[in-house]
Amino acid sequence: MRERRCDVAVIGAGLSGLRAALTLHEAKRSVIVVEARERVGGRAHTVRLDDGTAIDLGGQWVGPTQREIHATLCELGIATYAMYDAGANVLLRRGRLHRYQGSIPRGVGIFALASVGLSMLRLDRMAKGVPLEAPWQAARAAELDALSLGAWADRHVGLQAARDLLRVAGLAVWGCELDELSLLHALFYIHAAGGLDALISSRGGAQQDLIAGGAQGVAEAMAARLDADTLELGQPVRRIRQDDDGVLVESDALSVRAARAIVALPPTLAGRIDYAPALPPRRDQLTQRMPHGAIIKCFAVYARPFWRQHGLSGHAALPDSPPLAVTFDASPPGDGAGVLLGFIGGRDARAWAARDPETRRAAVIEAFARVFGAEARTPRHYVDHDWTSEPFTRGCPVGLFAPGALSAVGEALRAPCGRIHWAGTETATVWNGYFDGAIQAGQRAAREVGARLDAS
Amino acid sequence: MRERRCDVAVIGAGLSGLRAALTLHEAKRSVIVVEARERVGGRAHTVRLDDGTAIDLGGQWVGPTQREIHATLCELGIATYAMYDAGANVLLRRGRLHRYQGSIPRGVGIFALASVGLSMLRLDRMAKGVPLEAPWQAARAAELDALSLGAWADRHVGLQAARDLLRVAGLAVWGCELDELSLLHALFYIHAAGGLDALISSRGGAQQDLIAGGAQGVAEAMAARLDADTLELGQPVRRIRQDDDGVLVESDALSVRAARAIVALPPTLAGRIDYAPALPPRRDQLTQRMPHGAIIKCFAVYARPFWRQHGLSGHAALPDSPPLAVTFDASPPGDGAGVLLGFIGGRDARAWAARDPETRRAAVIEAFARVFGAEARTPRHYVDHDWTSEPFTRGCPVGLFAPGALSAVGEALRAPCGRIHWAGTETATVWNGYFDGAIQAGQRAAREVGARLDAS
């Protein structure tokens, strides 16, 4: 058992943990980051194909109002580029293709469109009433939390076609069925993003820009600014002990003694660590109640982005054609390869996670072909990634609250437990669930710990 | 690291794990039971007061249709006795006491009574349609799973007074608010018990009989029938490895090699073990989605059960007088001490778990006094037990499904993962959540493993 000492032990080398570590490092605190995987980045995971094309298997976009991640990108000198969005989007519904512009598909009929628009307005208006620091203190919090977003939609969204589009949005945003999600949590999440349109939009929204070289580069660049021996990779943390003198963070082979710890893991993973003494009841009940959604990201790489020549943006919505729910153009910048990205989410992701890779590949490519034409049938490369299988994430994109949980145990989300502090995008109050939230949460945790260290 | 070998490693020495172990032992299989606590019994936990009075801090009752636990009690020669239920029950509502007979309080007005009765009939009728082996295959499973029991009640139970009574029933049965619970799961649970009346009733139902000497005695008697070296107490299991040759179950100090393992823990705890290789996605998504309810059990011990002389049964419902939701007469048999038992559940349990023990004691005793009179103010002993604080349970009485989860991931509840099998009352198809279900699940897991061992 190797033993080390520092001021602050950070558990998890995702964007949130690394941001916390870097901020503390800049404040001259000694930090050790203990990470389960052999790589940094967490849910930011970039692989390179043989031809050098960077593929973001995990989170990938940044958007215009995401100030925290933009400040970090700027500091690190990392560029972004606009995702291709010229041309028409496509809706595939009841076997027919419909072209449309903007974030809400036509082809569902004018009444369904109006219904979707009205629902979005309603959700946005309700969302503004949910306090970002304490959603559980919203007016009528218990009442909003008692309903799932799906039950709300059943009641307030008249047309099935409109509800189907909301489901597709939910699959892409949360990786879950609308019935799994608390209305209160959905409203908080919408408010934290600045509105539903910001969540689901490409241009002007959360899917506007891609990160040059891939999102994992952000983590790598932060890690490179830390002292050489800061990072401890391949060390899944098993136990965190604390007493009046400090904390002891233990993996199987490493023991780190520190004044304080920042756990920058999704709550459902943080809850698997053995804490001594045991954490307070509300905190444990929280980590029992914040499961991940399920997403499989699927990429087909072509010599060129051929769909652009047909006047298509690469963005499509497929409300009734599983496995895919939505697609995007995730091509690298410039004139090189074209990359189609498809999302399988929620119950489809759980079903397709269990099927063999070849069957999945065939179904996804067939879906691309139905939307973008026969050329889609012959990709140079295909790769997909099932986040529910990742031992150190076990779902994606983000921890969620089912009905009844946020108002019951939400208070425990950020409340430090003695010398243990909580980061991770799930604890963010802006752009919760996104890189931006991860960075904000890391900064906040670093400030929280810094102030305690200064005071002691 | 001590190393041991056996045919089957059982993780968890609750009633389910011990039943599995004993059944395998009787079939001449070698078994080792690895238990985190320094005692057997799990959620059956009996303490003895100075005067010898047995107090069941955890599960305590058995009912007439619970064949599995009765067969085990009979085999072990353990007696039961009827909980005292003569005299009137009491409803405390809006500051007034109302006496009533049976399981449904009067004092809420005739319309509310009718509304409660009608709701129960409806729930029972719907429950019969939910297949016990596969609730997720019920007709309209997704639809039933999309609603919380609370949302269903808001829609179908007209009067607030009636909904308040259902909430109290939910607090006592599940330790949660109705909004936290999937309607589909509630219907399954009702069906597994044989009806809603069976769940909430004393005489003729789940709260009919108490176990002589306390419920933990059942676990102790089963343990006594195993070989002397079967039980490994104080060994929290950290890791389970499996390969083609068998399983390796590891605590910090012990390593058990076996052909197969039975994990007899609540899913939310089973999910905290490190499995190598990692478990399939759906299984992990399940353990992320089956949190425990929250219950604090509170006992006041008196020289005599004085309330009986006032014509009271000791059973009361307190829909609007937190902290207590319901009370019972948990006195030992015979003419000795009188014991009042009160339940704090759901949001009240989470709030009161965080308060200091003296404040909690005072509030509970005051509640007993309001219902049963001034004599309740001077108990000989007071003891309460917050199950959300127990590191090796972290909630009570049972793992639950929030809306959306059972239909999504329920399939993974009993499906073996390679050489790992699942027991625990959460996997039962009759009396899920009760001792009876724990025994059934243990027997089923033992059969499952026995058949595999015979075949190999």
How confident is the model over A274-326, as pLDDT tens digits? 999 999 999 999 999 999 999 999 999 999 999 999 999 999 999 999 999 99
Amino acid of residue A39? R
Per-residue model confidence as pLDDT tens digits over B53-70 = 999 999 999 999 999 999
Give the distance from residue B349's alpha carbon to the nearest chain A alpha carbon, in angstroms. 10
Residues from chain A that touch B284, judged by Cβ atoms under 8 A, are 388, 394-395
pLDDT of residue A132: 98
- Whether A404 and B409 lie within 8 Å, measured CB to CB: no
In this structure, of A96-110, A188-202, B144-158, the range with the lowest mean pLDDT score is A96-110
Instruction: State the pLDDT at residue B431.
Output: 98
- B391 in contact with A at a CB cutoff of 8 Å? yes
Q: Quick one: tokens of B58?
A: 């955890």
Is the confidence at residue B106, as pLDDT, over 80?
no
Query: Above 90 in pLDDT, residue A456?
Result: no
What ipTM did this prediction achieve? 0.93
Tokens standing for residue A271: 């809850």
Cβ neighbours of A285 in B, within 8 Å: 291-292, 294, 350, 388, 394-395
The CA angle A349-A353-B423, to the nearest 5 degrees, is: 105
Note the pLDDT tens digit of each residue in B404-417.
999 999 999 999 99
User: What is the arithmetic mean of pLDDT over A378-399?
Assistant: 96
Q: Beta partners for A172?
A: none
> Is B402 within 8 Å of chain A by CB?
yes
Chain A hits for B147, CB-CB cut-off 8 Å, are 148, 151
pLDDT at residue B335, rounded to an integer: 86
A111: how many CB neighbours lie within 10 A of its CB?
12
Q: Residue B115: what pLDDT?
A: 87
Q: Give the CA angle between residues A247, A250, A255 to the nearest 5°.
A: 80
Q: What is the pLDDT of residues B212-252, one digit of tens each?
A: 999 999 999 999 999 999 999 999 999 999 999 999 999 99
What's the pLDDT at B381? Answer: 96
Lowest mean pLDDT among A316-325, A421-430, B111-120, B211-220: B111-120
- pLDDT score of A13: 98
Predicted confidence (pLDDT) per residue in B320-347, tens digit: 999 999 999 999 998 889 999 999 999 9
Average pLDDT over residues A22-50: 97
Q: Give the DSSP letter of residue A103.
A: S
pLDDT of residue B170: 96
Q: Does A369 touch chain B (CB under 8 A)?
A: no
Q: Residue B198: pLDDT band by 50, 70, 90 thresholds?
A: very high
Taking phi over 0 as left and psi of -120 to 50 as alpha, with beta for the rest, A273 belongs to beta
- Round to whole Å and give the CA distance between B148 and A181: 11
What is chain A's Cα-based Rg? 22
Does residue B166 have a pLDDT over 80? yes
On average, the pLDDT of chain A sits at 96
- pLDDT tens for residues A174-213? 999 999 999 999 999 999 999 999 999 999 999 999 999 9
**pLDDT band per the 50, 70, 90 thresholds, residue B102:** confident
**Best CA proximity match to B301, nearest among B240, B342, B245, B346:** B342
Q: What distance in Å separates the CA atoms of residue B196 and residue B181, rounded to the nearest whole number? A: 15
Q: Do A274 and B236 touch (CB under 8 A)?
A: yes
Query: CB B395 to CB A282 under 8 A?
Result: no
pLDDT of residue B105: 82
What domains appear along chain A, each with residue ranges and CATH number? Answer: 2-43+215-291+402-455 (3.50.50.60), 106-200 (1.10.405.10), 206-211+293-389 (3.90.660.10)
* pLDDT of amino acid B402: 94
- pLDDT attached to residue A335: 86
pLDDT digits (tens, 9 = 90+) for A247-258: 999 999 999 999
Are the CB atoms for B272 and A272 separated by under 8 Å? yes
The residues that bridge with B307 in the sheet, in sequence order, are: none
Angle of helix B149-156 relative to helix B160-174, nearest 10 degrees, comes to 160
